Amino acid sequence: MKQPLSRKCLSVLTNSRLPRQNKRSNFHTQLQAHFIEKLRNCNHVICATSAHCYLLKSGLLHDTFTINHLINCYVRLPKTSHAQQLFDEMPEPNVVSWTSLMAGYIDTGRPDFALWLYRKMLESSVAPNDFTFATVINACSMLANLETGKQIHTHIEIFGFQGNLVVYSSLVDMYGKCNDVDGARRVFDIMDYKNVVSWTSMISAYAQNARGHDALEVFKEFSCSMQERPNHFMLGSVISACASLGKLVSGKVTHGAVIRSGHELSDVVASALVDMYAKCGCFSYSDKVFRRIQDPSVIPYTSMIVGAAKYGLGKLSLQLFKEMIDRRIKPNDVTFVGLLHACSHSGLVDEGLEHLNSMHEKHGLVPDAKHYTCVVDMLSRVGRIDEAYRLAKSTRVDHHEGALLWGTLLSASRLHGRVDIAVEASKWLIECNQQVAGAYVTLSNTYALAGEWENAHSLRTEMKRTGVHKEPGCSWVEIKDSTYVFYAGDLSCERGNEVLCLLKELERRMKERGYVGGSMGLVFVDVEPEVREEIVGLHSERLALAFGLMTIPKGITIRVMKNLRMCKDCHDAFKLISEIVERDFVVRDINRFHHFMDGSCSCRDFW
C-alpha cells in the first residue's frame, strides 16, 4: 500500500495551508476539522477525492460526522455513485446520511431512488426528521405521485411533525403539483405559522391548476397580512395567474410589485412578464421587458418566440431563434413547439419542416407528439391535408397526447370539407374517450358544411342520448379591476338590451358594406338563413365587444378573451366593425391573437 501523502503534497492537492503541528495530541483533531472545512467549500471532484484519500489513509474517516460531510460533498458535485458507495460502507449511517443521499438522487433526476431509500430507512432503526420528510415529499412532487405523497403525509403525522413549517410547505407544494389543490389548501389552512415559502407554494398550486382567481385572492391575503416581501417565485406565479385569466390590469399592478421588490431582472419573473403581456394582447410590452434582460436564458427567449407565434409574427419568431442560437443558447423542446407553432400560423411550411428535422440532427432533441401536432396543423393550414393525415397515422401517441393531435386533424378536416378524415379522427377521439363533445360537434359541423344534414341531425340525437354536452362559448372583457363574462346567446348579461341594440345597429351598417351574416357550417343545425344569422350574431365575443364599445373610452384598446376558437363569421364581422367605429381591438381565442384595426386583422386571414 502507498504511504500516506506528505504534508507538502497534500498542501498542493488541497491548495491551502495545513494547521501547524504544535501539539501532537490535538493535531489529528485540527487536521480533521481542516478537511471538513475544505469539503464544505469543495467545488471539484479532484479536490474531493484527494481529501477522501488522505482522510482514509490517515485513519480519520472513522466517524459518521466526517463521512456525512464527504457524502454531502459528493452529492453536491454531483457524484451520487461515490456517495452511495461511501454510504454502503458506513457501519452506522444516521438520519443525515440517509437524507443527504436521498437529496443527491433527487438533484440528479432520480426521485424514484430517493423514495426507495426512504423505504429502506423506515426498515432500519433510524427515524426520519423534518428534512427527510421535506426531501421525500419533493421526490413525490417530481414524480407527481399523489398516492405515495399521501402515505408520507400519514407518516408525518405518526412521527409528530404536524404543522412543521418546512414539512408542511413541502406538502402544499406536493399536493399542488399532483393536481390536488383542495388537499394543498387543507394543509395550508391548518398551518399555525406561514412564511413566504408556504404562501408561495399555495399561490403556485392554484396558478398551476388553472385556478388563477384563487391565486390572486391568496396573493391579496398575503399582501395584507404579511410583513415579508414576496419572492421572485411568488411573483412569477401571480403573473402566470394573470396571464391565464387575461387580466392585464392585475398583471400591471403585479409588475409594479416586481419593481418595488427588486425582482425585475429575475429570469423567472422576466419570463413570466413576457408571457403575461403577450397573453394579454400587449406584445410590444413583452418586447420591452425582454430587451431589458441583460443576459436572457432559454426561458425568456422561448416566451418571446411563443408570444410572437401567437400573434402570427412567424418571421420574428425565426429571427429570435437565430439570435438565440448565435448566442450559443441551447433550445429546449418547448422552444421548438413555439417555433413550429409560429411557422404554422404564418404559412412558413418549408422553414417549419427544416426546423423539425434539425431538432435531432443539430440539437439532440427527439420530436414528440407536441411537435408533430404543430406540423399536422402547419400542413393542414396550407391545404396539404392528406400529408397531415399520413403524419398523424404514422405518429405513435398515447391517448392524452393523441387527443391534441387528432383533434387538430379533425378541425382541419372540417375546414377543408374532408368528411372522410373527419369521421376517422372523431372515431379515434370518441373511442379513446378524449374530447368527446368537441369531436361530436366538429364532425356534425363538417357534415353540415358538406350538406349532409341527416348525418348532422343523427349525431345531435346521439349527443342527447349519451348526455354529451358541448362546452358553451364564453368570452370576457376586463374593465378597470372588474371582469365581465358573456355567453353565446345569453342576453341576461350586464346591459343586455343595450348590447343587443348596438349589435343590430352594427349589423345594419355592416350589411351596407356587403356583409352577409350566418355563414353556412358555422351553426350545427339545418335552419333558415335568417335564424342562422341570428344565432351567429349572438356569439359570445360579439356580446363582449359590444359591451366594451359602450363602456371603454375611445382611444383605449378593447381586449376580448374567448375560451373557444373564433369563428370565421365573427372574424369577418370584427374586421368591418373596426373600420366602422374607427377603433382597434384584440381578441385572444384558444389558438392565437387577432388584432383588428382599420378593417383588417393581424393574422391576415390565416389562422
| pLDDT, tens digit (0-9, with 9 covering 90-100), for 33-62 | 656 666 666 666 667 677 767 667 666 667
Q: Is residue 72 part of a domain?
A: no
Range of the domain at 518: 474-601
Residue 289 in any domain: the answer is: no
- Span 157-174, average pLDDT: 95
544 within a domain of the structure (yes/no): yes
The domain total for the chain is 1
Query: Across residues 387-407, what is the average pLDDT?
Result: 87
Q: What is the mean pLDDT of residues 337-362?
A: 93
Whether 487 maps to a domain, the answer reads yes
Closest by Cα among 226, 219, 261 to 240:
219
Q: Does residue 330 register a pLDDT over 60?
A: yes
Instruction: Say if residue 596's pLDDT is above 90.
Output: yes
C-alpha distances out from residue 153 to 157, 161, 339, Å: 7, 10, 42
- The reported pLDDT for the residue numbered 489 is 84
The per-residue pLDDT for range 71-102, each reduced to its tens digit, is 888 887 888 888 899 899 888 899 999 999 99
- Residue 480 falls within a domain, yes or no? yes
Contacts of 547 (CB under 8 A, 6+ apart): 477, 484, 486, 493, 494, 495, 499
Write out pLDDT tens, residues 485-517.
999 888 888 888 999 999 999 999 999 988 886
pLDDT of 519 over the 70 cut: no
Q: What confidence score (pLDDT) does residue 281 get?
A: 83
Q: What is the pLDDT at residue 463?
A: 82
Give yes or no for residue 574 having a pLDDT over 90. yes
Neighbours of 511 (CB within 10 A): 12
| 265 inside domain | no
Read off the pLDDT of residues 128-160 as tens digits, 9 standing for 90 and up: 999 999 999 999 999 999 999 999 999 999 999
Residue 325 has a pLDDT of: 96
Q: Give the type of residue at 202.
A: M
Residue 186 covered by a domain: no
- The cell for 139 is 421526490
Q: pTM for the complete prediction?
A: 0.77
pLDDT at site 13:
39
Mean pLDDT of the chain: 85
CB 274 within 8 A of CB 290: yes
pLDDT on residue 166: 94
Residue 552 lies inside a defined structural domain of this protein: yes
Helix axes 568-580, 540-551, angle to 10 degrees: 20
